Structure 1
Amino acid sequence: MKLFTYERADSAQAAATDAAAAGAKFIAGGTNLLDLMKLQVETPTKLVDISRLPLDKIEERDDGGLTIGALVPNSDLAADARVIERYEVLSRALLAGASGQLRNKASTGGNLLQRTRCYYFYDTATACNKREPGSGCSAIGGFNRILAVLGTSEHCIATHPSDMAVAMRALDATIVTQKADGDRRRIAIGDFYRLPGDTPHIENVLEAGELITGVELPAPVEAARHLYRKVRDRASYAFALVSVAGVVAMDGDTVKSASLAFGGLGPMPWRNPAVEAAIVGKPVTTASFEAAADALLADARGYGSNDFKIPLARRTLIASLRELTGTN
């Protein structure tokens, strides 16, 4: 373990100011960061503890939505009656992730910032551009079964591991932050994550010291069906090979509206408007489902061990659409 200093913040502003220093990291539940520190993948020189800040509430919004504090534990969020009633996809996604013990500690803000579970990222003896920029990507040409087939680059093919973030993407969540300079900002989740390009170590748009303080969910879609379907190697405590978060409203046998996001396929919670456009305003048909799958996978690329994800994603999406539209 590398030496580091520790401070407990007494306000969001103080936390952001303290964490703006080079080498500083926030710590809340610690369910990802502490593992990475033990492996010396992460070697912060300073930890800023935000676990005592008053960011652990779920509150009603005037528009009928909810504001979720960044420190709300995943287990509490999944069990909240308002979330179950209005945002079932979110509750399902949370319960599909990790274990009960981890959900009791993991925070909403921390979940959004999880690092990839790429084997080579965790192995400091191998090259990884995400861990050490410019060192190379061992996953390309290596064992890449769990890694991305969408949004990749020649520098990185890692996947984003969060289940919760996939549901948040389908719900058009907004991330609220506190900056070190005192400003606050609201970031649409679709603008929050970055593709790897040639800088895979930069995973989101947060600035130095910028602290996630909460997540806003808009008013729920009326009379919509919710689904979170996760395909994985075993029934629990495994990351998604492919997952689908869906919110679909019907008007008779026609799709009135649809929000579809995907996990296990890309470096971020994946959403492509062309997938939804293939089914919205159209009667439910096998052809429209196939068109949606074509749109999703038009630019998909396998890297050997993960080639199977492309046909698996097609089958998973079509099965999910059948369930969401009541055509099983």
Structure 2
Amino acid sequence: MNNFKYLKISNSEEALHNISNLQNSKFLAGGTNLIDLWKYDLLNPDTLIDINELQDLTTENETADGSFFLGALLTNAETAHHPVVEEKYPLLSRSILAGASAQIRNSATNGGNLLQKTRCYYFYDAALPCNKRNPGSGCPAIEGSNRMHAILGTSEKCIAVFPSDMCVGLAALEAVIQVKGLNGERLIKFEDFHTLPGETPEIDNTLAEDELITGIILPKEGFAENFSYLKLRDRSSYAFALISVATGLKLENGLIKKARIALGGIAHKPWRVKEAEDFLIDKKPDEENFRTAAEMIIKGAKGFGDNDFKIELSKKAIVRNCLMALDPTESQRPGAKPAL
């Protein structure tokens, strides 16, 4: 049995003071990932700081510049089914609904989704070495069972992938993360929030240990007319992605004027290649151009044996999802099959 202290906090200043001064303390919101880690003896906090009563983290509102703010304590379900999200940011709604189960989405928070840990088999087995869990101990996934693992952005230290579906949608939308510390608030571009493993795979993101995520800002452009989210997995529900693709397109006069393509299941963070998106500007939205963009996105990919198939499958998934984005009503109709 692990003894711990429990603090229920009513304001963010008190929460930040406690996280800064209490060693080995953790914020508790939905707890869907924290409890997993605790159950597997990967995390043993001395103090839980319950932040569920922080009212300023449950707000949502449209701003004067047309962007939309989502509080960090809003649940994934509340976000996916929010009328503004469904209307203006359907790509985010689709990506959230592709993940986890209804029960988990009802509990998991937006802030927690950003911070979840990899689901690498070796990370979750405390009896095995893992550089992410125990720096310097090694990465057995490189020569072991690695079917679910990364093909891009890897290092000799780690080939784990980031598991979130929601974050792939947020990456394509170019969201901004609002965080707060004792020294004030700051904004982090989504592309700068999660990190690649490099020499420090134990570091997942650029959030400081004494900071709190307060919300997510969605930009004005939501790609509501041409979008698609494609998730390829071993079974049709409640499974992490082998490969996922979020695509948002802005079309004018039969040409692509803006493109955003983000991938999940292939790297330590949601993966985007801006050069590929720029290539598509003023091009026809056809299979040939999407195939060229896919080659650019997956350039440099490296498999580790069991996951070699991800390289070609990723290219096909990108092309297929971009074509699906041309007619979201057809690709999202009941019974539609995302065949490659």
The percent of aligned pairs where both chains have the same amino acid is 45
**Counterpart in 2 of 1:241?**
242
**TM-score relative to the length of structure 2:** 0.93
User: What is the RMSD of the two structures over their aligned residues, measured on CA atoms?
Assistant: 1.5
Shift of 1:74: 0.6
**Counterpart in 1 of 2:191?**
190
Task: State how far apart, in whole Å, the 1-side matches of 2:287 and 2:180 are.
Answer: 46
- Verify: 1:149 aligned to 2:151, yes or no: yes
Q: Which runs of 4+ in 1 moved over 3 A?
A: 221-224, 325-328
| Equivalent AA in structure 2 for residue 41 of structure 1 | L
Shift of 1:4: 2.0
Cα deviation digits, residues 31-60 of structure 1 (max 9, x gap):
000011011111222211111111122211
**Counterpart in 2 of 1:202?**
203
| Equivalent AA in structure 2 for residue 170 of structure 1 | A
Please list every run of 5 or more consecutive structure 2 residues that lacks an aligned counterpart in the other structure. Answer: 332-340
Shift of 1:162: 0.5
For 2:174, which of 172, 175, 178 is the aligned residue?
Answer: 172
Shift of 1:326: 4.9
Task: State how far apart, in whole Å, the 1-side matches of 2:215 and 2:119 are.
Answer: 24
**Counterpart in 1 of 2:7?**
7
**Counterpart in 2 of 1:299?**
300
- Verify: 1:18 aligned to 2:7, yes or no: no
- Asked if the contact 1:278/1:289 (under 8 Å) is kept, the reply is no
Shift of 1:2: 2.6
Task: State how far apart, in whole Å, the 2-side matches of 1:109 and 1:145 are.
Answer: 28
Task: State how far apart, in whole Å, the 2-side matches of 1:264 and 1:150 are.
Answer: 10
Pair 223,159 (structure 1): closer, same or farther in 2 beyond 3 Å: closer
- Asked if the contact 1:221/1:249 (under 8 Å) is kept, the reply is no
- Asked if the contact 2:154/2:196 (under 8 Å) is kept, the reply is yes
Q: Secondary structure at the match of 2:179?
A: strand
- Asked if the contact 2:120/2:161 (under 8 Å) is kept, the reply is yes
Number of residue pairs the alignment of both structures matches: 327
Q: Secondary structure at the match of 2:168?
A: helix
**Counterpart in 2 of 1:229?**
230
Q: Secondary structure at the match of 1:191?
A: helix
| Equivalent AA in structure 1 for residue 292 of structure 2 | A
Task: State how far apart, in whole Å, the 2-side matches of 1:51 and 1:225 are.
Answer: 36
**Counterpart in 2 of 1:114?**
116
**Counterpart in 1 of 2:133?**
131
Cα deviation digits, residues 184-236 of structure 1 (max 9, x gap):
11111111111100100011111122000111111125664121111111111
| Equivalent AA in structure 2 for residue 227 of structure 1 | S
Q: Secondary structure at the match of 2:186?
A: strand
**Counterpart in 1 of 2:335?**
none
Task: State how far apart, in whole Å, the 2-side matches of 1:306 and 1:296 are.
Answer: 17
Shift of 1:176: 0.6
Task: State how far apart, in whole Å, the 2-side matches of 1:139 and 1:178 are.
Answer: 35
Task: State how far apart, in whole Å, the 2-side matches of 1:222 and 1:31 are.
Answer: 30
Shift of 1:278: 2.5
Tell me which moved more, 51-60 or 221-230: 221-230
**Counterpart in 2 of 1:97?**
99
| Equivalent AA in structure 2 for residue 301 of structure 1 | K
Q: Secondary structure at the match of 2:257?
A: strand
Pair 223,133 (structure 1): closer, same or farther in 2 beyond 3 Å: closer
Cα deviation digits, residues 42-90 of structure 1 (max 9, x gap):
1222211111111122211111221000000111111111100000000
Please list every run of 5 or more consecutive structure 1 residues that lacks an aligned counterpart in the other structure. Answer: none
Task: State how far apart, in whole Å, the 2-side matches of 1:294 and 1:22 are.
Answer: 47
**Counterpart in 1 of 2:89?**
87
Q: Secondary structure at the match of 2:87?
A: helix
- Verify: 1:158 aligned to 2:160, yes or no: yes
**TM-score relative to the length of structure 1:** 0.96
Shift of 1:272: 1.0
Q: Secondary structure at the match of 2:150?
A: coil
Task: State how far apart, in whole Å, the 2-side matches of 1:223 and 1:53 are.
Answer: 31
**Counterpart in 2 of 1:268?**
269
- Asked if the contact 1:13/1:178 (under 8 Å) is kept, the reply is no
- Asked if the contact 2:150/2:159 (under 8 Å) is kept, the reply is yes
Shift of 1:325: 3.3
